[in-house]
Amino acid sequence: MRLKNFVETKPAWGLCAGAILLAKEVQSPSQDSLGVLDIGVTRNAYGRQTESFISLLEPNSHWLGTEAVEGVFIRAPKINRVGSKVKTLFTFGGEPVMVQRHCTLASTFHPELSESTQLHQYFLKICQEPA
């Protein structure tokens, strides 16, 4: 099974570089991607490795509750365009940093480096929902 077909038919979560791989449009520089999620991203938009940072992110969706989560940004891309069928789940500085379409998630930060399991639990929940 090809990777693109797998991602189109199974739950998937692209973290940081994975968000770039899922995006329909990639800039700075442009590159091939799977193009399965209707978002545009700019690579390394927050700067170099030494400019990595941690910030609290507020949920933009009632499905995620009210608890802020820690966002660890390491040479992170920025989501610069969100398609009409894609939901923004979290923002940072007014810009989307985590989005969803059906059972596909993309985040420009690293939730696996946070102590919270809130986002992992959410992903498992949407994996169990019918498409």
Read off the pLDDT of residues 90-112 as tens digits, 9 standing for 90 and up: 999 999 999 999 999 999 999 99
Q: Where are the domains of the chain?
A: 11-128
Q: Of all helices (H) and strands (E), which one includes residue 69?
A: strand 69-73
Q: Active-site residue among 51, 58, 67, 112?
A: 112
Say if residues 24 and 37 touch (Cβ distance below 8 Å): yes
State yes or no: is 112 an active-site residue.
yes
Q: Active-site residue among 8, 70, 102, 110?
A: 110
Predicted local confidence at residue 110, as pLDDT: 96
Q: Which CATH superfamily is domain 11-128 in?
A: Class I glutamine amidotransferase (GATase) domain (3.40.50.880)
Rounded to 5°, angle at Cα 59 from 58 and 61:
155
Sign of the torsion angle spanned by Cα atoms 81, 102, 106, 97 = positive
State yes or no: is 67 an active-site residue.
no
pLDDT tens-digit series, residues 45-80:
888 888 899 999 988 876 676 778 899 999 999 999
State yes or no: is 62 an active-site residue.
no
